[in-house]
Amino acid sequence: MDEITRLISRIDSNVLTSSDLTLFVELLKKSHVGMPGLEKLSKDDVQWFQTYAFTLKKVELLKEGKLYDIESGGDWRQAIDDFSKLRFLVDELEEKNLVNEVAWYIEGIALYNITNPDNYKKYIYDKIRTHLEKIKK
């Protein structure tokens, strides 16, 4: 699929954004059925890309000088269908010392500090690339 190649190219150029992934998720939700090269795509895959987009948005907000933006960067309910995937990924990021001071508030607010934005972004990019390559096969 050309879109997957485009996203991998944006990762290689270090310019992939959460908006790119959000658009990709919408494309997958609308048209993946019968799309050549995506026969093995599952709902689980789509949910992972939602989660990656959310975590990528967090580093974008940080680079804009917004440590916490509840409206667009903390409340996962509008962006993610499966909370357990976010919880799993944030636990993984915390284990790798890429985030700290993790707090889960009010049934849907996920706050944490990114300790090293460049390494955090690279880690998320690696997760995205691996997943894109998996669904491309």
pLDDT in tens, 31-90: 665 566 676 788 888 889 999 998 998 899 888 876 554 444 445 555 666 778 888 999
Reported as type and span, the H/E element at residue 130 is: helix 117-136
Query: For the chain, where are the E strands, in sequence order?
Result: 99-105, 109-114
Burial environment of residue 53 by CB neighbours within 10 A (0 to 12, 13 to 18, 19 or more): buried
Please say whether the dihedral angle defined by the alpha carbons of residues 76, 80, 83 and 88, taken in this order, is positive or negative.
Answer: negative
**Does 100 have pLDDT greater than 50?**
yes
What phi and psi values does residue 93 have, to the nearest 5 degrees? Answer: -65, -40
pTM here?
Answer: 0.86
